[in-house]
Each structure stands twice: as C-alpha cells, then as structure tokens.
Structure 1
C-alpha cells in the first residue's frame, strides 16, 4: 500500500474517532460536585481523610482539605487530576489562580474563580 494512502487512512481514522467522541459528549469537562470530589479524591489518595471540600462555581475544580493538608482536584477531560498542595506556586491570574507544581509530572492548571471565590480559596490555602 502506498504511503500516501496509508497516511490518509490514519489521519482520517483519528479525525473520525475524535469527531465521534465529541459528538457523543465524551470530550466535555467533568463537572464536580461535593460527592464526586470526595469519591475522586479517595480514588487518587485512598489513605487521606477528607475534612472539607470547596467546589468552584464552574464545577471544574475543587479545593480539598484533608487531615494532612490541602489539595487541588480539577477536571482533565472526562477524568480528574488530584494533587496535594505541598510544593507549588500559585499565581494571580485574570480568571482566578494559576497553580504551578514543582513536579515535572504535574501540569500547571488555571482554576477559574470569581472575586469572592478567589478571596475564599486564598483564605483556605493559608497555612494554619
């Protein structure tokens, strides 16, 4: 089979799968609630005891407070990513906060927060 035809088949197949996933709603971000956040946090960190959960108004991120400290859970497509807030920087962003983790395996994330949420989250992240 000529390389040109193979290339068209591969690109067409990937585009078709992408379109199919998008049309069936599989490409939308996961919306978090208190219950979903607790369950997903336990999936990421089974030994943690969740004390409190604060979900952002858009439902795509949550600040999780555990007995050992705070953590961040955010939507990553149809799944979630969770990280303890131990070695990180948070930067004021026009839309909320940008979290940069000092771990090459953890992507940075922008959490969209309104002004009231921003002050509340900042208060919750302060060391006690």
Structure 2
C-alpha cells in the first residue's frame, strides 16, 4: 500500500474517532456533586475516610477533606484527577486560583472560582 494512502487512512481514522467521541458527549467535562465527588475520591484513594466535600459552583472541581488532610479533585474530560494537598503552591488567578503541585505527573491545575469561593477554599486548604 502506498504511504500516502496509509497516511490518509490513519489521519481519517483518528479524526473519525475524535468526532465520534465528541458527538457522543465523551469530551464534556464531568460535572461533580458532593456525592459523585466523594465516590470519585474514594475511587482514587480507597483507604481515605472523607469528612467533607466542597464542590465549586461550576461543578468541575471539589475540595475534599479527609482524616489525613485536604485534597483536590477536578474534572479531566469525562474522568477525574485527585491529589492530596501535601506539597503545592496556591497562586491567585483572575478566574480563581492555580494550584502548582510539586509533582511531575500533575504539574498544575486552574480552579475556576468566584471571589467568595476563593476565600472559602483558601481557608479550607490551610493546614490544621
């Protein structure tokens, strides 16, 4: 098979899969509620005991407090990512704040919050 035809098939296949995923809704961000955030947190960290869950107004992030400390859960497409807040920097951003983890697997995340939420989350993220 000529390389040009093979290249066209590969590019067309990838574009088709991307379009199919988008049309079926698989590219939308997961919306979190306190219940789904707790379920997702326990999926990532099954040994944790969840004390409290605070979900952002946009439903794409949650601050989870556990017996071992606070953690952050956020939407990443149709899935979620969760990290304990152990070694991080919180940087103010016009849309909320940015959390920079000192971890190469998850370098940073932008959490969209309004002004009231920012103050509340900042208070909850402070170590006890």
For normalisation by structure 2, the TM-score amounts to 0.98
- Residue 101 of structure 1: aligned partner: 101
Q: Count the aligned residue pairs.
A: 128
Counterpart check, 1:64 vs 2:64: yes
The match for 1:120 is: 120
Residue 110 of structure 1 aligns with which residue?
110
Q: Structure 1 residue 14: deviation in Å? A: 0.3
Give the alignment's Cα RMSD to 1 decimal: 0.6
1:44-82 residue CA offsets vs partner (Å, 9 max, x unmatched): 001100000000000000000001100000000000000
Could you tell me which runs of 5 or more consecutive residues in structure 1 were left unpaired when the two chains were aligned: none
Counterpart in 2 of 1:8?
8
- Per-residue CA deviations over 1:7-66 (Å, capped at 9, x if unaligned) read 010000000110011011110000000110000100100110000000000000000000
The aligned residue for residue 39 of structure 2 is 39
Q: Which runs of 5+ in 2 are unaligned?
A: none
TM-score (norm 1): 0.98
Quote the residue 1:84 is aligned against: 84
In the other structure, the counterpart of 1:74 is 74
Provide the C-alpha distance between the structure 2 equivalents of 1:22 and 1:73, rounded to a whole number of angstroms.
23
TM-superposed deviation, 1:107: 3.5
- Structure 1 runs of 4+ off > 6 angstroms? none
Q: Distance in 1 between matches of 2:75 and 2:39?
A: 14
Match of 2:92, SS?
strand
Cα shift readout 1:86-121 (whole Å, capped 9, x = no counterpart): 011110011001011111111411000001100100
